């Protein structure tokens, strides 16, 4: 066998152009510049190209290969049984609201400025009196440990590490106290369903305050539960009752199944101190009798920041601010309640204009449909002060636990920084409606 040196020496002679492919029309073979004359490649030319990377199959490698939230969703779908995946991924009825919310972001046209210094991008912003390193926080999600066993612990710790707020749901599977202990340096918020039984509500409010939560987020778009048909078809109820079909489906995802069996059983952790069944507690959570008088009671009771989630009209935005809300979340519950509900991104410019006209200092937040950092930048440009992600981080959670949530946040941060640089802005305060245009569909 020849040595590499012998091979290279044998391959160094130049081949006459006439013996190879015909050169471009109009050029004489013998008048070609040296760089364009064909020759047999030398070993030294090929050697740098023949570097085969060892394949990596670890969880970390798989997550690092994901460069979009959609790719995390693909991983999550492979790793998660159909029932919990659809619980996260699905929406109400024909799911038109969720589809339209995502289409609204797709229909954004950016209008970049040029010749701006964007060598340094600052994504930090102030929300409800404190700084957040990024203009996005984690939205409240129910039964999170059903999606992946690390659940709320992964979400709160990832938020703590990223320097952004984390919101625990009343229907979470980790208690207020446990989340505070898991992320002691994090900014923890608590989401509340205001019940008819004020004593139960009051106890949760007091526990949230004692655990250091500075913001209470009351959800007001759940007079009754939406028709989440994927859950019905999968036999998944609230509380979950897994059928033989869903158990068999879970068995094809052994990691999920092992985690499910070897960790503490799923419960609504913040409600575990109450007597009665979980179903009875849920029935009392979704109270169809709530009015603005109840909001007044809550404002008098809670001394921290009060945010009202589920605003879907300009008039209601004005009203809740008049009743003492420090912030609002334009949200249709991720499309999981009323199908064909208003799209938060479409509503945003009008709400922003109305509150500015009233000289309101209330924070405007937005969720539903966010799947990229560019979506977040578009919302900020149209008047949002802050955004919240639910599914986007849950896809990361299902894809890889805490590491998956970290990856989701990293993807969004990189998207935001790149989008802002290409728009010609270096900080959040420079974004304005001139940077975007809503296209008609």
- In DSSP terms, which residues pair with 440 in a beta bridge? none
Distance CA 406, CA 162 (A): 8
Q: Residue 333 — left, alpha, or beta (φ > 0 → left; ψ -120 to 50 → alpha)?
A: left
Quick one: CA torsion of 318, 320, 323, 326, rounded to 10 degrees?
A: -100
Residue 38 phi/psi, 5° resolution? Answer: -75, 145
Which is nearest to 382 in space by CA: 358, 413, 356, 360? 356
Of 413, 428, 28, 83, nearest to 247 by C-alpha is 83
Torsion angle of alpha carbons 364, 168, 412, 321, nearest 10°?
A: 0
Task: Report helix, strand or coil for 403.
Answer: helix
Query: Pick the catalytic residue: 13, 263, 323, 333?
Result: 333
Active site residue 346: no
Kindly list the distances between the CA atom of residue 95 and the CA atoms of 5, 28, 91, 103, 389, in Å, as whole numbers in the listed order: 66, 65, 5, 12, 18
Nearest-angstrom CA–CA distance, 386 and 127:
7
CB-based contact 326:307 (threshold 8 Å): yes
The residue behind tokens 């106890």 is: 203
Catalytic (active-site) positions: 333
């Amino acid at each position: 066998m020849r040595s590499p040196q012998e091979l290279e020496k044998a391959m160094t002679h130049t081949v006459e152009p006439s013996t190879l492919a015909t050169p471009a029309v109009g050029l004489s073979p013998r008048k070609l510049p040296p760089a364009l004359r064909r020759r047999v490649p030398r070993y030294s030319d090929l050697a740098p190209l023949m570097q085969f990377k060892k394949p990596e199959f670890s969880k970390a490698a798989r997550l690092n290969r994901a460069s979009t939230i959609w790719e995390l969703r693909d991983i999550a779908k492979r790793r998660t049984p159909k029932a919990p995946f659809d619980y996260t991924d699905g929406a109400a009825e024909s799911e038109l609201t969720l589809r339209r919310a995502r289409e609204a972001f797709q229909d954004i046209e950016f209008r970049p400025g040029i010749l701006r210094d964007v060598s340094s991008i600052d994504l930090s912003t102030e929300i409800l009196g404190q700084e957040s390193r990024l203009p996005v926080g984690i939205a409240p999600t129910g039964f999170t440990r059903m999606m992946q066993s690390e659940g709320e612990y992964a979400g709160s710790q990832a938020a703590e590490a990223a320097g952004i707020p984390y919101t625990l749901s009343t229907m979470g599977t980790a208690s207020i106290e446990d989340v505070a202990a898991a992320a002691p340096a994090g900014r923890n918020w608590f989401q509340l369903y205001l019940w008819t039984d004020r004593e139960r509500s009051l106890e949760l409010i007091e526990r949230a305050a004692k655990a250091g939560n500075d913001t209470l987020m009351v959800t007001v778009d759940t007079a009754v539960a939406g028709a989440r048909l994927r859950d019905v078809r999968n036999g998944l109820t609230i509380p979950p009752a897994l059928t033989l079909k869903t158990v068999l489906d879970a068995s094809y995802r052994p990691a999920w199944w092992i985690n499910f069996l070897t960790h503490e059983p799923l419960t609504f952790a913040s409600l575990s101190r109450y007597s009665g069944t979980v179903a009875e507690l849920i029935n009392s959570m979704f109270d169809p009798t709530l009015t603005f008088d109840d909001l007044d009671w809550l404002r008098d009771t809670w001394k921290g920041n009060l945010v009202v989630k589920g605003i879907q009209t300009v008039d209601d935005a004005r009203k809740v601010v008049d009743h003492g809300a420090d912030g609002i979340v334009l949200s249709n519950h991720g499309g999981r309640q009323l199908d064909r509900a208003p799209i938060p991104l479409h509503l945003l410019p009008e709400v922003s204009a109305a509150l500015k006209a009233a000289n309101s200092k209330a924070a405007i937040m937005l969720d539903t449909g966010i799947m990229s950092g560019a979506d977040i930048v578009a919302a900020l440009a149209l008047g949002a002060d802050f955004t919240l992600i639910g599914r986007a981080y849950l896809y990361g959670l299902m894809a890889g636990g805490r590491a998956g949530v970290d990856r989701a946040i990293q993807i969004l941060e990189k998207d935001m920084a790149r989008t802002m640089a290409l728009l010609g802005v270096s900080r959040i305060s420079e974004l304005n409606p001139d940077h975007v245009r809503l296209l008609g569909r």
